[in-house]
Structures are given as structure tokens and as C-alpha cells.
Amino acid sequence: MSDQLSSIQFDAIVIGSGISGGWAAKELCEKGLKTLVLERGRNVEHLKDYPTATLNPWDFPHRGKIPPSEADTTPIVSHCYAFTEASKHFFVKDYEHPYVQVKPFSWIRGYQVGGKSLTWARQTQRWSKYDFEGPLRDGFAVDWPIRYDDLAPWYSYVEKFAGISGNKDGLDILPDGEFLKPWEMNCVERDLQTKIMNAFPGRHVIQGRCAHLTEPNEIHLEQGRGKCQARNLCERGCPFGGYFSSNSSTLPAAKKTGNLFLQTNAVVDSIIYDDTLQKAVGVRVIDAITHVVTEYRAKIIFLNAACLNTNLILLNSKSKRFPNGLGNDSGLLGKYIAFHNYRGIINALYDGPDDKYYFGRRPTQVMMPNFRNVLEQETDFKRGYMIFFNASRGRAKSEEIGAALKEAVSELGGWRIYMMMQGETIPKETNYVSLSETERDDWGIPQLSINVEYDENDEKLLKDFFKEGKSMLEKAGCKNISTYDTKQNPGLDIHEMGGVRMGRDPKTSLLNEWNQLHTCKNVFVTDGACMTSTGTQNPSLTFMALTARAANYAVQQLFKGLL
């Protein structure tokens, strides 16, 4: 198949089939472009390739848990909440794809069609004007070349297709979107909402927004997707199509056009730059199984391999014109990597009603948008954090045995509160990735060397979350409040961003306002690598909107003969 495809002059090549790559494929195919999608992993077809989707806990040898013997061989990915006996086939194992950790970093990857869109946490919030204006106002990174109003219509565009549940909350710090019916808070969460918002004016406790179909519209039914069943087994692949993934949504839409060509087991070595034509002309690929090298040609290229792999590919795309990596005249490629700070957790007890419970396994938590340094700088740290929390009840505990144990655990336990932070980190030049000079992977490509760590700002932000979170729970009447620093490595948040940032000036950024490389206009980067800063929100919705916007622009430019 690769021999046949290599003879085709494609209009577009998309590298990667995850959340942003799937959107690039859909948009380019629907606009008439003959598009090749390159995926380094195996094929995964919706429904057909979700082998554990409907299994019961007792159907697994270890009741879904990763046994110690296996965890010992996968010490990095085993720390990921979604890596279980039921989902491990969707995750890269540490020993299969090594990388160099100059500083401890947990790189969580999914090499298959759909990428991590099969296993993501599905939380979706828009950025606000404060997020796009933040770097300029607060003096870090570089100024974003776009503002909220530039992206707002594209947020609406992708929300309608993906299906996002949520409330119209009327907050400028977290703009409303095109929402389906929201999930509901339980009785204790509503109590906490009232008490916290009364005690802390300006802090908003709202229902979480997530990419789940609570009430499918016609646009979702046309995709073959159905209503979310609130099973909370999402990382296995959803047989109902209840949550958004490339496999259930964008890739089938691309395939429907007849313009999609999909090549799996395609490990991208580099993007090919033609010094004479002064543009990229194709992609060099190594077959994951046979190691045969193939070159594919196209007029435009969308690089959506996920943040760190996108950086790796560009760094490895060397030519006479770009000896330090494609588009890297500024020398900033791979630098200013950022992520989200997930280290803070708070647990508490609450005297809630003993006669009430809740229905189903809601796929989102209650959340509080950032309230720190929003309108002005007001703390000794930059930026802020979102808060997520929930109230739940487990079974009563007992030291009895036999019938007495059965009777005891049939009773419900008390109400427990779980709260976590999602903090913005400040992009720094000293947080960077590069190509290893000594280590190579199984395909002869230099391994990625990762030099990323927390800083003093992250520690201050964590301390503030513990102080403010505890104070809010105390005012709400919670008891036995305890704080916990997970001390997890950067990367386990799975929100890595940057390295190929957008900006106005080619001297201080790699991409322009349309996600084009400043110095190679027919290459677009719209995954996490393009992010100039991180905000406090989950990033995937912004990746989707940026991709749809860039694809629309790329097609216009191509049809005008400018690419």
C-alpha cells in the first residue's frame, strides 16, 4: 500500500490522527483536498477494536488492575489514572519507546489511530480574553498573535460537531459555548456551591463541561453516535460513541468524502524541505514493522503528532536551509515547553443527608474557574489555577466476616469530598526538549531528550491552592480536611504544550497567527506544540478550534495559489 501511495501527489498530508490530526483530516477532506493521514501506530476502528468495552470486572485476570510484575516494567505509564488492565492496549509501554529524561518527566503516549482521543479525560472549556492577553499583560512568553474574538466562531464550530455538555454560566472568565444538556450536581455538591459562593463573592462553582452527548443532535446522529450512558468506562473506547474521539467522529467524516487516505505503522522521520522551491514538499516515513523508508509528497503539511513528537519531527527535519530543524531560524524550536500543575489534592468529609444518593457515573466534575490574578496581578506568583471537585459516597467499612460483613457493606458510607487543582505553568526557555546526541530509537531516529521541571512559581501556586481550597471547604462545613502533594513528575498531567509557539515576530516565535511556520508557509502546526501559554483550562478544545481555523485558511491560500 505504501508503494502505491508514494506515487500519489497529495494535496495535504496530516501527521498524526489524534484530536487535532482528526480535525485537520476532516476539514481538509471536506473541502476537497486529497489528504493522506500518517499514523505511526496500528489501526483502530470504531466499535470493532474496543475489545474490553463491555467486559465486567470479573472478566479480567486481575479485576482490571495492573499487576505489580507488569507495573515494574512500565513505571512511567503505570502512574497514569487511565492505564488499567482494560485500557493498556491504548497506551505506549515505557520500554517500547524510550526517551532521555534529563529531568524526571512522565511522557504518556498513545500510538494508534485516534491517538489519545480514545483515552482523554474529555473536559472542554473555552479560553477567555484574559488567557490570550495574559502573556502581554504579565510579561512572560510572547504576545499571542490572536485574541479570543479570533477563535470564538471556531470554538462554536467544533463544539457543535463534537458535542459539548454544559451550562450557560455567563462568565467572561470562562465563556459559554454551544452546549448540550448539562450533567447535574448531586445534593451535596449543590450545598457546597451555595455555601462557597456566598462566602467567597467572585468565585464561581459551576458544573463541568465535557465532550459527552447528553442529548445527541442530528449532527451527532449522522455520525452514528449515541447518547452517553454514564458508564465511566471511557478509556476502553466507547461503543455508543457517547464521547468525542477521532475514531467515532472526525475520521469517519473525513472517510465519507472519499478524499481520505490513511497509512498506519508510519513512523515519521522528517519533513522534506526543497531548497530550490523554498518550501516543504513531503514527508519521509519509516515503516514501523519492515523499516522500509518511503517518501510521500503533498502541497501542504499539517503536523499534529502531539506536542513533544511534533517538536521531535521538526528538530529532525534538517536541510541546508534549516540545519537546526525546520523553521528554526530563531533557535527557539523545542524551547518554552509548559504543562499543567496537577500536584495539589484536598480530601474532606461532609455531613450530608444519609437518605440521598445519585444516579450513574457522571463523566465530569464540578469546577471553579480561575479566580487568581484575573483582572490584575494580586499575588506573589503569576497566573492561577482552576479547581475541580466532587462529592461521593462509598460503601460502609467493616471488620466483620461472613454474613455480618455482607450486611455491613450493604450500607452506604458517609459523604466524601475530593478536590484537585489544574495550575497554569509559565513557559521558560530553560524548559526544553532536544535531540539526543547518543541515543536512537528502533528506527534510527534520535530519541527525544526532555529537560523540563517545576519552578518557584509552581510551588507558590500549589501552596495558595492548599490555603484557599482548605479555607473554602472549611467555610462550607467540611471536616477532616487534608492536603496532599502528589509530587508527580511534569508530564503526568498529559497537557504538555509549546516548543513551536505562535507569535507575531519570527525572531521570537515559530508560527504566525494562522499556525504557519514563519519561514515555511506550507507547514502548519495546530497541536499542543503551537501553544504560546497554557491557560488554566483543559487544552483540547482549543487545539480543535485552532486546527479548524488553520485548515480553513490553508485551503483558501492553496486555492489562491499562494501555497
**Cα–Cα distance measured from residue 542 to residue 33, given in angstroms and rounded to the nearest whole number:** 24
> Can you say how many angstroms the Cα of residue 9 is from the centroid of all Cα atoms in its chain?
32
The answer as to whether 297 is a domain residue is: yes
Q: What is the pTM of this model?
A: 0.96
> Can you say how many angstroms the Cα of residue 409 is from the centroid of all Cα atoms in its chain?
38
- Asked if 365 contacts 389 with a C-beta cutoff of 8 angstroms, the reply is yes
The answer as to whether 369 is a domain residue is: no
Give me the CATH number covering residue 259. Answer: 3.50.50.60
Helix or strand or coil: residue 260? strand
The 3 state secondary structure assigned to 288-305 is CCCCCEEEEEEEEEEECC
* Dihedral sign (CA 109, 110, 111, 116): negative
Closest CA to 108 of 501, 537, 450: 450
User: Exposed, middle or buried, 242 (CB in 10 Å: 0-12/13-18/19+)?
Assistant: buried
- Looking at this protein, which amino acid is placed at residue 128? S
Query: What is the number of H-type helices and E-type strands within the chain?
Result: 12, 22
- CA dist 15 → 19, 22, 35, 273 (Å): 12, 10, 11, 16
The answer as to whether 399 is a domain residue is: no
- Looking at this protein, which amino acid is placed at residue 471? S
User: Exposed, middle or buried, 72 (CB in 10 Å: 0-12/13-18/19+)?
Assistant: exposed
List the end-to-end C-alpha distance of the chain, in Å, as a whole number.
Answer: 28
Along the 563 residues of the chain, how does pLDDT read in single tens digits? 466 777 889 999 999 999 999 999 999 999 999 999 999 999 999 999 999 999 999 999 999 999 999 999 999 999 999 999 999 999 999 999 999 999 999 999 999 999 999 999 999 999 999 999 999 999 999 999 999 999 999 999 999 999 999 999 999 999 999 999 999 999 999 999 999 999 999 999 999 999 999 999 999 999 999 999 999 999 999 999 999 999 999 999 999 999 999 999 999 999 999 999 999 999 999 999 999 999 999 999 999 999 999 999 999 999 999 999 999 999 999 999 999 999 999 999 999 998 998 888 999 999 999 999 999 999 999 999 999 999 999 877 767 788 877 777 767 889 999 999 999 999 999 999 999 999 999 999 999 999 999 999 999 999 999 999 999 999 999 999 999 999 999 999 999 999 999 999 999 999 999 999 999 999 999 999 999 999 999 999 999 999 999 999 999 999 999 99
Q: Edge to edge, what strands does the sheet with 497-499 contain?
A: 100-101, 446-451, 432-440, 335-338, 497-499
What's the total number of domains in the chain? 1
Closest CA to 337 of 319, 359, 320, 312: 312
- Looking at this protein, which amino acid is placed at residue 389? F
Find the domain containing 13 and state its range.
2-123+233-339+430-453+493-559
Report residue 494 as a C-alpha cell: 498529559
* Dihedral sign (CA 500, 98, 94, 432): negative
**Cα–Cα distance measured from residue 558 to residue 174, given in angstroms and rounded to the nearest whole number:** 35
**Cα–Cα distance measured from residue 437 to residue 394, given in angstroms and rounded to the nearest whole number:** 52
Residues 6+ apart with CB under 8 A from 127: 148, 151, 175, 535, 537, 542
Pairing of strands 446-451, 100-101: parallel
**Cα–Cα distance measured from residue 321 to residue 318, given in angstroms and rounded to the nearest whole number:** 8
**Cα–Cα distance measured from residue 272 to residue 296, given in angstroms and rounded to the nearest whole number:** 9
**Cα–Cα distance measured from residue 521 to residue 527, given in angstroms and rounded to the nearest whole number:** 17
Closest CA to 366 of 343, 341, 392, 348: 392
The answer as to whether 458 is a domain residue is: no
